[in-house]
Structure 1
C-alpha cells in the first residue's frame, strides 16, 4: 500500500477509535451527569462536546476551499452550555463527527500535500489532520476522565483494567506476529 493511502487509513481508524471511546464514556453516564462542571472554570462534558462539534463543523466544512475558521463560527458560544438533554448532546456530537468523517473519507492520497488555511495560517492537509488528531483525542480524554470521576466505582474500564496488564500482554504475545493497526482489536473489543 502506498504511504499516503496507508496514512489515511491509519488516521481514519484512530479517529474512529477516539470517537468510540467518547461514546462509550458518554453511554455510562446518567443524562444529568453530562452537565456537571467541577467548578466555574471547568467545562461540563456537554460543553466539551459542543466545542468539539463546533470545531469539526468549522474546520471540515468546505475543507479544501475555505479557511477552517469560518466567519459563522462563534467559538466563545461553544463554551456556554445551552443544551438541555442527553439526546441533544448526542445530536451535536454526531453532527460534528459526521461532517468531519465525511470529509476525511473523501480525501485522496494526492491531496495530502495540498495547502489549506486555518485563521490564515497555511497547513498541508496532513498537518491539518495531525492537528486535529491531537485536538480531538485531547478532548475525548477529558470526557473519559470526567466520566470516570462521575461514575466512580461503577465505571467500566475502556482500556486495560487496573492490575490486568499481565493478562492482556499474555493474550497479545500468545498470538502470531502480524501487521495491523492497534485500533483493529480495540474497536472490536469496545463494540
Structure 2
C-alpha cells in the first residue's frame, strides 16, 4: 500500500470514528433531547445534524468535478426549521455520511494531488479532506458535549471513562 492509499485509509478511519461517536450519542437521546438548545446562542443536536448533512451533500457530491459549495445548498436554512424526530434526524445523518464515504471510496492515490474547489477556493484533494475532518470533528464534538450536558450525571462515557473513587 502506497503512502497515498494509507492517507485515504486513515481519513476514512477518522471519519468513521467521528461518526461512531455521533451515532452513540444520538442513540442515547430522545426526540425532545435531540432538539433541545442548551443556550440561547447554541444549536441543538438536530440543527448540527442538519448542518452536517447539508455540508456533506454539498461537499462530497461530484467531489472531483464540481465546487464543494453547490448553488442548490441553502446553508442558512440548515440552522432553522421545525424540530425533527430521531428517525428524520437519522435519515439525514446517514445520508450525509453515506455520500462522504462513497466519494472517498472512489478516490485513488493518483487523485490526492488533484485540485478541487470549495467556495471557489482551490484545494488539493488532501487539503479538502483535512478541512472536512476538522469541520466534522468540531461538530461531532459539539454533539457529544451537548449530549453530556443534557444527560448530565446519567452519561456513560463513549471512550475511556474517568476513574471514579
TM-score range, shorter chain: over 0.9
- CA shift for structure 1 position 83: 4.2
Q: Where do 4+ consecutive residues of structure 1 move more than 6 Å?
A: none
Q: Which stretch shows the higher mean deviation, 118-127 or 38-47? A: 38-47
Per-residue CA deviations over 1:114-157 (Å, capped at 9, x if unaligned) read 00001110000000000001000100000000001111111110
2:158 corresponds to: 158
2:136 corresponds to: 136
**In structure 2, distance between residues paired with 1:121 and 1:83:** 34
TM-score normalized with structure 2 length: 0.96
Equivalences for 1:105-184 in 2 at 5 Å?
A: 105-163=105-163
- CA shift for structure 1 position 163: 1.6
Per-residue CA deviations over 1:77-133 (Å, capped at 9, x if unaligned) read 000033431100000111111111100111101000000001110000000000001
Q: Does 1:20 align with 2:20?
A: yes
Residue correspondences, number: 164
1:71 corresponds to: 71
* Contact 1:52 1:136 (8 Å CA) reproduced: yes
SS in 2 for 1:123: strand
SS in 2 for 1:65: coil
TM-score normalized with structure 1 length: 0.83
1:41 corresponds to: 41
Q: Does 1:104 align with 2:90?
A: no
* Structure 2 unaligned blocks of 5 or more: none
* Structure 1 unaligned blocks of 5 or more: 165-191
For the aligned residue pairs, the C-alpha RMSD in angstroms reads 1.0
* Contact 1:83 1:89 (8 Å CA) reproduced: no
Q: Which stretch shows the higher mean deviation, 53-62 or 82-91? A: 82-91
